Amino acid sequence: MSIQEKFQSRIARWSISYYDIVLFALPVVLLVGAVAEVLLPVPSHAGITAAGIVSALVLGDAMFNRPPSGRSV
């Protein structure tokens, strides 16, 4: 076993799928909406509602437009 094989990074082998991005995006979008409502002069329900609509669109795209299949990507 060479030194390069012994100390090969495990991070380099990770592959990020579309669904990983969706799982990351959902709370980020809601957090951005909450921060926007605090920083911008908009009503509190407007920021959360807008973030909820965007989250629903992301989730709907992941479930219905690109549904998960049993195949490995």
On the CB side of 32, CA atoms within 13 Å amount to 12
Q: CA torsion, points 19, 21, 22, 23, in degrees to nearest 10?
A: 90
pLDDT in tens, the chain (73 residues): 444 455 555 665 667 888 888 999 999 999 998 898 889 898 888 888 999 999 999 999 999 998 877 665 5
Task: Give the CA angle between residues 14, 19, 21 to the nearest 5°.
Answer: 75
Short-list 23, 26, 45, 24, CA closest to 34: 45
Residue 39: enclosing H or E segment and its boundaries? helix 18-39
Q: What's the pTM?
A: 0.69
